[in-house]
Chains A and B, each alone.
Chain A
Amino acid sequence: MLIKKYFPPTWLAKTFIHLASLLPLANLYWLAYFDELGGDPVKEVIHFTGIGALNLLLLSLILTPLAKVLKQGKLIQLRRVIGLYAFFYGLLHILNFLFFEVQFDFSLFIDEIFDRPYITVGMTALLILTALAVTSIGFIRRKMGRNWQKLHNLTYLAGALVVIHFFWSVKSELTSPLMYIAFFLFLLYLRKDKFRRWIK
């Protein structure tokens, strides 16, 4: 197949992913630092990293069905790096909130996490992603054996929590979060055989 023939080598694809993930961040923080990111750079860095984490997470989830459709197994190899960037963006998202929004007011930070359901939901997703990121290290993965896959199936739960978190966080502009929810449901539909196996 054409696509097979011209698919870039994995190292090139990975290099692209590194650049596409890191350059926007460098640009973002550069502009924010020099106050050139609109009226409120804090909101911008929080939203950018949050949306970025969601995009990357969904991207990591679509790779498996995409690999099947395109008959392109190499795509599977990219899941790990994209998933790790999803975690990284998510981590930056909450750190932005702590550093720049509540500005190290730890009691406010803790209160907000527990008192605001949408933040609790988002934080839960980040804890899941943390567990997935830690267990993506080679020797831990090998040690976990079959449990590794069980744990990493939680990525779907994380995805669900993140789209709910987004939906819940907006004031009234629901279109964008609803589109994400629709896309996420579509992803679940693509993996329906997998979920059927779980139920059995």
Chain B
Amino acid sequence: MLIKSPVKSALKENEVTDESVYNGRRSLLKSMGFIGAGTLLSNSIATSANAEGFGLFSSDEAKEFERTPLKYTPANVGESSDVLTPESKVISHNNFYEFGTNKSDPVNNSQGFKVEPWSLKISGEVNKPFTLDYDDLFNKYAIEERIYRLRCVEAWSMVVPWLGFSLADIIKQADPTSKAKYVAFETLDDPKQMPGQRSRRIGGGIDFPYVEGLRIDEAMNPLTFMSVGLYGKTLAPQNGAPIRLVVPWKYGFKSIKSIVSIKLVEKMPPTTWNILGPSEYGFYANVNPDVSHPRWSQASERRITGGGLFARNRIETLPFNGYSEEVAHMYKDMDLRKYY
């Protein structure tokens, strides 16, 4: 069929395209979109540039955030057959409403984000509360690489080589009390730096700061990861610099970014998307092909890799995103249709 044959050439072409051409093309599209009927009055692709980006010289030209190489124990590759999502896509296709609701808004609006100094407070039902500063994030715990599948609730997915350490490392250090039943996370609240927090229009109508939560056993699961980097370097702001959560068996919105507070609590904490749409986004949000989102199926997903428009990348979604062996036991007595 006409449609299948170009796949290989498209991949090749992608690999030789350098960043400047890539940016130039997107700017061209934006400016053309504004002339053309395709974007009259519209916010489509063009808004990714926001007010300053109408012309050829858009916010893409802002100085890129500098990511530092990290020392880490490499992941044991070979155990996974998943193809990594290219780094260029991992750092340019993001949901981070603090910087805007379009997928390209975070990379365009966050390059000046300040991560140093940083303060991450661990508090609540613990005997030894403490605070981590920016350097602590990279020096206090042994940093390892973990290649995880990331499944977005919007039915796309990526495979990302994260760097970081287990959340359990932090929690153990804080010595939780017997009342610690849940863990509550909070993103930085800084409207000056985060345009989405300044404006409900840019921020998609979310009440910030973004909050998330896990049950204590979920938080202590060895898979649950605090990421401080990806692809060998520290995180870019659009990926949640300087430190974010990664819970690979849950939908992406659970993996809260740019965390300033981890609090152990007795009661189930409120979580942002659950507040926004309780019938669509639950507290647990475990990846589950059998429970549809009310407005779309979760049975399959599109894996974001290279290859462009004609990449045949739709794959079956696996229960718990393929991590059943490690996590299913935590939910064995629960009705996962009820606790979605």
A residues in contact (CB < 8 Å) with B: 17, 20-21, 23-25, 27-29, 31-45, 47-49, 51-52, 54-56, 58-59, 82, 85, 89, 99-103, 105, 108, 111-112, 115-118, 168-169, 171-176, 180, 183
In the complex, what residues of A have CB within 8 A of residue B295's CB? 116-118, 168-169
* Contact of A39 with B37 at beta-carbon distance under 8 Å, contacts A28-B29, A33-B310 already known: no
Of the candidates B40, B103, B312, which one forms a contact with A39 in the assembled complex, judged by CB atoms under 8 Å apart?
B103
Binding site for A on B (CB under 8 A): 3, 6, 10-11, 13-14, 17, 21-22, 25-26, 28-29, 32-33, 35-45, 48, 89-90, 92-94, 97, 101, 103-104, 154, 156, 200-201, 204-206, 276-277, 292, 295-297, 299-300, 302, 304, 306-314
* CB–CB A172/B276 < 8 A: yes
Chain B residues, Cβ within 8 Å of A33: 6, 10, 308-310
- Please pick, from B39, B200, B205, B308, the residue contacting A51 in the complex, using a CB distance under 8 A: B39
Q: Which among A35, A37, A43, A173 is the interface contact of B29 at CB below 8 angstroms?
A: A37
- Nearest chain-A residue to B94 (Cβ)? A39
Asked if B42 contacts A51 (CB within 8 A), the reply is: yes
Q: Known contacts A38-B92, A39-B89, A39-B104; can you find 6 more A-B pairs with CB under 8 A?
A: A24-B38, A35-B308, A37-B309, A54-B42, A102-B314, A171-B277
Report chain B residues within 8 Å CB of A42: 302, 309
Write out the residue numbers on chain A whose beta carbons fall within 8 Å of the beta carbon of B204. 171-173
Q: Give Cα distance in the complex from A41 to B227, angstroms.
A: 27
Given contacts A33-B308, A33-B310, contact A24 B92 (CB under 8 A): no
CB atoms of B36 and A21 under 8 A apart: yes
In the complex with contacts A38-B93, A55-B38, A27-B309 CB distance below 8 A: no
Which applies to chain A's interface (DSSP): helix, strand, loop or mixed? helix
Q: Are B38 and A52 in contact (CB under 8 A)?
A: yes
Residues of A within 8 A of B42 (CB): 51-52, 54-55
CB–CB A58/B41 < 8 A: yes
B157 to chain A, nearest CB (A): 11
**Closest CB in chain B relative to A57 CB, distance in Å:** 11
Cβ of B11: which chain A residues have Cβ within 8 Å of it?
A: 35
State in angstroms the CA–CA spacing of A159 and B48 once bound together. Answer: 26
Contacts of A35 in B (CB 8 A): 10-11, 13-14, 17, 306-309, 311
B93 and A39 within 8 A (CB) = yes
CA distance in complex: A59, B36 (Å): 12
Nearest Cβ distance between residue B273 and chain A, in whole angstroms? 8
Q: Would A24 and B37 count as touching, CB distance under 8 A?
A: yes
Distance of A33 Cα from B14 Cα, bound (Å) = 9
Q: How far, in Å, is A6 (CB) from chain B's closest CB?
A: 20
A20–B37 contact, CB under 8 A? Answer: yes
Query: If the complex has contacts A23-B32, A102-B314, A118-B295, are A34 and B13 also in contact, measured as CB distance less than 8 A?
Result: yes
Expressed in whole angstroms, the minimum distance between the Cβ of B2 and any Cβ of chain A is: 11
Of B44, B277, B299, the most chain A CB neighbours within 10 A belong to: B44
A47, A112, A117: the one within 8 Å of B45 (CB): A47
- The chain B residue sitting closest to A96, CB to CB, is B309
Looking at the complex, which one of B10, B26, B37 makes contact with A59 (CB distance below 8 Å)? B37
Given A31-B29, A32-B309, A17 contacting B37 (CB threshold 8 A): yes
Contact residues in B for A38 (Cβ distance below 8 Å): 26, 48, 92-93, 103-104
A10 to chain B, nearest CB (A): 17
Q: List 15 A-B contacts (CB under 8 A).
A: A24-B39, A25-B38, A29-B309, A31-B25, A33-B308, A34-B10, A34-B17, A39-B90, A39-B94, A39-B104, A56-B40, A103-B302, A112-B296, A171-B154, A175-B200
